[in-house]
């Protein structure tokens, strides 16, 4: 992974690999980006939360 991190490639290519975290295709978002959030639940427990 350090090869990608040091190669100035886009973040998606540097921090991910095929099938590592399949969420969806990239989609256009026309609203306020501050409305975006990501929640990860495992067995109904909130494990990770991220927002803008």
Task: Kindly tell me the sign of the dihedral angle through the C-alpha atoms of 1, 15, 18, 22.
Answer: positive
The per-residue pLDDT for 46 is 96
Please report, to the nearest 10 degrees, the dihedral formed by the alpha carbons of residues 33, 31, 26, 44 taken in order: 70
Residue 3: Cβ-neighbour burial (10 angstroms; 0-12, 13-18, 19+): exposed
Residue-by-residue pLDDT tens, the chain, 52 positions: 565 556 666 665 656 667 666 677 888 889 998 888 989 999 999 999 998 7
The whole-angstrom separation of Cα 46 and Cα 27 is: 25
pLDDT at 8: 67
Whether the predicted model's global pTM rises above the 0.75 cut: no
């Amino acid at each position: 992974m350090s090869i990608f991190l040091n190669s100035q490639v886009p973040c998606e290519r540097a921090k991910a690999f095929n099938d590592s975290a399949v969420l969806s295709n990239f989609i256009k978002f026309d609203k306020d980006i501050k409305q975006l959030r990501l929640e990860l639940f495992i067995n109904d427990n909130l494990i990770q939360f991220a927002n803008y």
